[in-house]
Structure 1
Amino acid sequence: MTEALRHASFAEFYPFYLSEHNNRTCRRMHFVGSSLSLLCLAITGKPQYLLYGLLCGYGCAWIGHFVFEKNKPASFKRPLYSFMGDWVMYRDMWRGRVSF
C-alpha cells in the first residue's frame, strides 16, 4: 500500500501532503493555481469559468510536481484529501505557517 493510501483521516494525511511539497517553486505553483482558480470562480455569468478554474488549479499544481518537485501529485492516489490539502496549504501559506 502506498503511503498516500495509509492515512485513515485527513489530519493524518496532511503532514504527508506537505512532505510531497518540499520544493518552494512547486508550492508557489500551487499558490498561483489556487489564486487563479478563485479568480475564475469570482467571474460570474459564464459557466465555462468553473472549468477554467479547475484547469488553472490542477494545471499549475501538476506542472509544479512534474517539473520542479519531480514526483507524482497525491491527487492521483487520494483526490479528495489532496483537494482539501491544497486549500489548507493555501490558507497556511497566507497565514505564514507554510513558507512561500
Structure 2
Amino acid sequence: MELNNTVYINTNYINEEEVPFQFAHEISHALNGDKGSNNFSANSVYSKEEYKANKRATKILLEYCDLNGLTFYNSTEFMDAFGIPSKAGYVIDNVFEEKIGI
C-alpha cells in the first residue's frame, strides 16, 4: 500500500501566528513516516511521535533562519517569532541546547 504524504494546513486558523510552526510540524510528521492517525490520546507512541515532529519542525525552522540570516539567542525569542505554543517549549529548549552544545 502506498502512503500519501499530503499535508493540510488551515491558514485561517484562529492563531495565525502559529501557522509557520504548524506547517513545519505537519511536514515533519510526513518526513518521519508517521501514520497520520488523528488519535489524540496520551498514549506513549503518540507522545513520541509528537515530540519527534516538534523537534524536527524546530530544526527545519532553525535551518530556515540560518539560510536567511536570522539569529535568535534564546528559545523564547525563537518561539515568539514563529508562534510556537508554550506547550512545545521543552522541545525547543532541548534543540537549542543541542545546537549550542550545552
> How would you bin the TM-score normalised by the shorter chain?
0.3 to 0.5
Q: Relative CO higher for 1 or 2, CA cutoff 8 Å, sep ≥ 6?
A: 1
TM-score, normalization by structure 1: 0.37
Q: Larger helix proportion, structure 1 or 2?
A: 1
TM-score for both structures, normalised by structure 2: 0.36
